[in-house]
Structure 1
Amino acid sequence: MPKYEEPSGLPAPLLSDPEMIGACRERDFPRIFSLAKRRGGFHASLIARRCDLTPSRVGEVMKSERQIRDIGVIERVADGLRIPGRMLGLARREWETPEVLRADPDHVGQRGPVAAIDQRPTFVSTLPSGDLESIIAAASGPRLSPSTLRALHSSIEDYWRRDDQHGGEVLRPAVVGQLRYVVEMIKEASGSDVRRDLYGIAAELARLTGWTHFDARQYSQARTYFAEALQLAKAIDDRQFMANVLACMSLQATYENRPADAVALSTAAQDTARARGGTPRVMAMLAMREAFAHASTNNPSAAHAALAEAHRQFERTSDADLDPAWVTYFDEPKLIVDTGIVHSRLGEAATAEPLIADVLRRGHRGNQRGRAFHAFWLATTQLQRGNLDQACHTATVALESAAAVGSERVTGHLREFQQRLAPFGKEPAAVMFEARLRAMLS
């Protein structure tokens, strides 16, 4: 009988398989472990031993009864299964560097440098060009300065702009990589002010990552990153940002058909912000989230009360307010269109239509997802009012914007609109819209 040989790592064909790539990108460890077992020769006990986990924990992860969130455990999985760091949003692992590039202090000036020179054509040709930046960064280490922190904040603003324009799916690996980089910087940072800034930056990156998962309707992964953002913000007692994350989780709960959770999260968000004197703009945005939550429970009186509170708080805003950067998007047009969406969710189409139409006419400054989203809600109100041709025309506007941005959330709304067209299936306008939707989805 041939002797069994343990695999040294996952085979290259598996690591290049789209299913494994997707599982690693989403940090879907139940799927990663299952693929490692079925196609990589790693039985559960071997996974446990290689990754320094207990067999029972590996079993719980494979059955989705337990999650892996700790960065140290994720690194052990990468090293134990030999998954390249970039696939899991980590820095390049030490074992990925060819031996010839590793410094050996005991042989400096002897065989080491000679071997490096002799073998240079071999390893240089196999290294991705992007690794040069990683090598230089590893040699110099992070340089913490006010300009570094400003650059990190600027990159977050740029990520949000690109997310609005194109969707977050393509951005996510870069955002996750930067998040892990900042977490490593926190470990080495000295000085309370610098550490606080880094915690805040990490919290923003974690929320952004959660948002990209939410927008892609990958709800489990979104919750994982939202929870991480909460913990990072809690570490510096940034109650307003914690409230912001809770508001994101409330919105997600409305999409998951968990209306009671949506209400609880939105009220918790307001309580959290109020405890630290949330600015009027922050409180207005959070009240609007509560209105969305009550609308999802079809509770008009509670939704109207939350809308009134949102408008009352917004009227108190002032240029002198020290608003966090993440809430500046909540301007007057956003207040108006969100008000219209709440009325639409409640079936109050006559009130909703002029509000949404007004904001849609103003434009969206490059925010294709916002334009698609608002066009969908305007089409919905028009259909509620019996204006089929107008509704299908507006929904086509949503289609055109949706085609320019990768957002499964918006695509899901368009499918929802298609379902509402079922009673009008033979009408020319409905037939034309459905044909265009199929073309976009294909």
Structure 2
Amino acid sequence: MPVTTSPPRHLLATVRAASGHTLDSYINAVADRHTALGYGHMARNRNKVARWQRGVEPEMPAQLAMADLHRVDPGQVIARGWPNWLLLALPGPDIWAPFAPEVTLSALDDLAANPARADAADIPLLPPDVLRDLADRWTDHVQSAIAHGISGGYVGVEVSTAIHARLTALWHLDDSLGGTACTTSARSDLTMVTKLLRHARHTGQLTTDLHFLAAEYARFLGWAEFDAGNTPGAQRAWHAALRASAEAADPAHSAYLLANLALACVYDDQPGTGSDLLASARDIAGTRTTPLVAAMIDTWRVRATAATGDAKQAARLLNQAEAEFDRARTGDTNPAWAYWMCRPSHMAETGRAFLDLGDPATAETLLSDGLAALEPSAQRDRVLYLVWIATSQARRRDLDAAAHTATAALDIAAMVESGRCTTLLTDLATELAPYRAAAPVGAVLDRLNSSDR
């Protein structure tokens, strides 16, 4: 059956109900105020209120009479317009109030004292222009606070909150578009955080958090440069990130930084160095992190160890990572940057490890399972999975499947800016080259070797 939805309840209907009025009693109350204010007599027809609730704008004298009934400043009726001024007639703090500590506390008190009601469907949605205004004023306030801090003023938690939000958005942009698209934004935001650290007045936990933000922005910039194909630039960023992380005294994040550096070493044909760095990362994290983070580090150790040819150690580490992942529980205080971690056997690096160990059938199975579990927005990782699945299929001599999978990888790669993906597609072309005589493979090789990917 088709789903039908009712239009959002008009603000006036909510205000009227909150004040205990029926249609009849409301029009009578408004008419009394209308007369008392000197605007003359007003028809006492309940249908007039019903029309207002359907979107007809009342004449200004009627609005001023309503405002008087609800003890709303008539100047706000003029300034805010219909029906937005009605928000002032509802309980709770004024949504247009300035951003200030006392208003924040008032809003928090009201929220804590008034839990969600069972009849929440009767509460109106905020009008779109109100939402846009709220977001714009919040943004202006935070930007002013940041500028104030850079100029030497004190900064508070709202600045940290806003920068964390920008950082989270960058993480997900990288998932969708690849690192190349994110380097400029990451560098710009890192400059802002560095200026706050150098010039703003901040103390205690906020100082620690600003150092963490500097470390994570530098870590992310390194990751974006690595994904863009600029490993020297990535290593330079990670060096600065390690210094900032040391100031933040966050062992889990320090371990994550080392793990990033290590994985880049594996991609750069230095698996021994990568394996050593990952072992150090695991030691740094120790027991001071969650099972999820431990599983992430050990999964990357699987890839590094497999690349050295140590099949037994790779298998042991995979079992260890799976056990750690299974120990993770809802409620663990996992760091926000670990949002992308999935089951170790589903990670692309695990599937790639089995390719390195000469087991393409197992690699294809694991990679296919991981691909099925991948978030829809993770387009860059989708290319990694598809390239390595196609490689597994080529090594099993399933050439039709390899050509089909490679085509899917190329289609998605066209929407991603990732030097790492470009390199992997070049490697796939080398993998498929011996089978050019097969018609599907030849067509894919023509695309792989073209300049438009």
What is the TM-score with the length of structure 2 in the denominator?
0.65
Asked if the contact 2:254/2:281 (under 8 Å) is kept, the reply is: yes
Task: Tell me which residue corresponds to 1:292.
Answer: 303
Asked if the contact 2:295/2:344 (under 8 Å) is kept, the reply is: no
Question: Which whole-Å CA distance do the structure 1 matches of 2:369 and 2:147 have between them?
Answer: 52
Asked if the contact 2:299/2:344 (under 8 Å) is kept, the reply is: no
Q: Secondary structure at the match of 1:441?
A: coil
Q: Which among 231, 234, 238 is matched to residue 250 of structure 2?
A: 238
RMSD: 2.3
Unpaired stretches in structure 2, ≥5 consecutive residues: 1-142
Question: Which whole-Å CA distance do the structure 1 matches of 2:317 and 2:149 have between them?
Answer: 51
1:37-88: per-residue Cα shift (whole Å, max 9, x none)? Answer: xxxxxxxxxxxxxxxxxxxxxxxxxxxxxxxxxxxxxxxxxxxxxxxxxxxx
Question: Which whole-Å CA distance do the structure 1 matches of 2:345 and 2:186 have between them?
Answer: 26
Question: Which whole-Å CA distance do the structure 2 matches of 1:254 and 1:381 have between them?
Answer: 19
Task: Tell me which residue corresponds to 2:285.
Answer: 273
Question: Which whole-Å CA distance do the structure 1 matches of 2:357 and 2:392 have between them?
Answer: 10
Task: Tell me which residue corresponds to 2:225.
Answer: 213
Question: Which whole-Å CA distance do the structure 2 matches of 1:169 and 1:137 have between them?
Answer: 31
Asked if the contact 1:364/1:371 (under 8 Å) is kept, the reply is: no
Shift of the alpha carbon at 1:144?
1.8
Task: Tell me which residue corresponds to 1:404.
Answer: 415
Task: Tell me which residue corresponds to 1:116.
Answer: none
Shift of the alpha carbon at 1:381?
1.1
Asked if the contact 2:295/2:324 (under 8 Å) is kept, the reply is: yes
The alpha-carbon distance between structure 1 residues 368 and 135, as it changes in their structure 2 partners (threshold 3 A), is closer
Task: Tell me which residue corresponds to 1:5.
Answer: none
Task: Tell me which residue corresponds to 1:12.
Answer: none
The alpha-carbon distance between structure 1 residues 336 and 411, as it changes in their structure 2 partners (threshold 3 A), is closer
Q: Which among 257, 262, 271 is matched to residue 269 of structure 2?
A: 257
Q: Secondary structure at the match of 2:181?
A: coil
Question: Which whole-Å CA distance do the structure 1 matches of 2:436 and 2:348 have between them?
Answer: 29
Shift of the alpha carbon at 1:382?
0.9
Larger gyration radius, structure 1 or structure 2: 2
1:251-290: per-residue Cα shift (whole Å, max 9, x none)? Answer: 100111111101111100000000x512100100000111
AA in 1 matched with 2:203 = G
What is the count of residue pairs matched by the alignment? 310
Task: Tell me which residue corresponds to 1:161.
Answer: 172
Question: Which whole-Å CA distance do the structure 2 matches of 1:402 and 1:172 have between them?
Answer: 18
Q: Pairwise mapping of residues 52-71 of structure 1 onto structure 2 (< 5 A)?
A: none
Matched, 1:200 2:241: no
Question: Which whole-Å CA distance do the structure 1 matches of 2:390 and 2:342 have between them?
Answer: 23
Question: Which whole-Å CA distance do the structure 1 matches of 2:436 and 2:397 have between them?
Answer: 14
Task: Tell me which residue corresponds to 1:370.
Answer: 381
Question: Which whole-Å CA distance do the structure 1 matches of 2:145 and 2:284 have between them?
Answer: 40
Question: Which whole-Å CA distance do the structure 1 matches of 2:168 and 2:188 have between them?
Answer: 16
1:188-239: per-residue Cα shift (whole Å, max 9, x none)? Answer: 2321211101000111100111011101121111001011111101112111
Q: Secondary structure at the match of 2:284?
A: helix
Q: Which among 376, 384, 391 is matched to residue 380 of structure 1?
A: 391
Task: Tell me which residue corresponds to 2:85.
Answer: none
Q: Pairwise mapping of residues 18-417 of structure 1 onto structure 2 (< 5 A)?
A: 144-187=155-198, 188-274=200-286, 277-332=288-343, 335-417=346-428
1:286-339: per-residue Cα shift (whole Å, max 9, x none)? Answer: 001111111111211111111111111111100121111111211237745443
Asked if the contact 2:295/2:320 (under 8 Å) is kept, the reply is: yes
The alpha-carbon distance between structure 1 residues 235 and 138, as it changes in their structure 2 partners (threshold 3 A), is closer
Q: Secondary structure at the match of 2:447?
A: helix
What is the TM-score with the length of structure 1 in the denominator?
0.66
Question: Which whole-Å CA distance do the structure 1 matches of 2:375 and 2:434 have between them?
Answer: 32
AA in 2 matched with 1:216 = A
Asked if the contact 2:346/2:367 (under 8 Å) is kept, the reply is: no
1:136-165: per-residue Cα shift (whole Å, max 9, x none)? Answer: 769966662222111101101101111111
AA in 2 matched with 1:268 = S
Asked if the contact 2:325/2:344 (under 8 Å) is kept, the reply is: no
The alpha-carbon distance between structure 1 residues 380 and 299, as it changes in their structure 2 partners (threshold 3 A), is same
Question: Which whole-Å CA distance do the structure 1 matches of 2:255 and 2:291 have between them?
Answer: 13
1:365-416: per-residue Cα shift (whole Å, max 9, x none)? Answer: 2111011110011111111111011011101111111110100101111110
The alpha-carbon distance between structure 1 residues 369 and 440, as it changes in their structure 2 partners (threshold 3 A), is farther
Task: Tell me which residue corresponds to 1:71.
Answer: none
Task: Tell me which residue corresponds to 2:45.
Answer: none
AA in 1 matched with 2:261 = M
AA in 1 matched with 2:263 = L
Shift of the alpha carbon at 1:134?
13
Query: Which stretch shows the higher mean deviation, 132-141 or 338-347?
Result: 132-141
Q: Secondary structure at the match of 1:269?
A: helix
Query: Which stretch shows the higher mean deviation, 144-153 or 353-362?
Result: 353-362
Unpaired stretches in structure 1, ≥5 consecutive residues: 1-131
Question: Which whole-Å CA distance do the structure 1 matches of 2:356 and 2:342 have between them?
Answer: 21
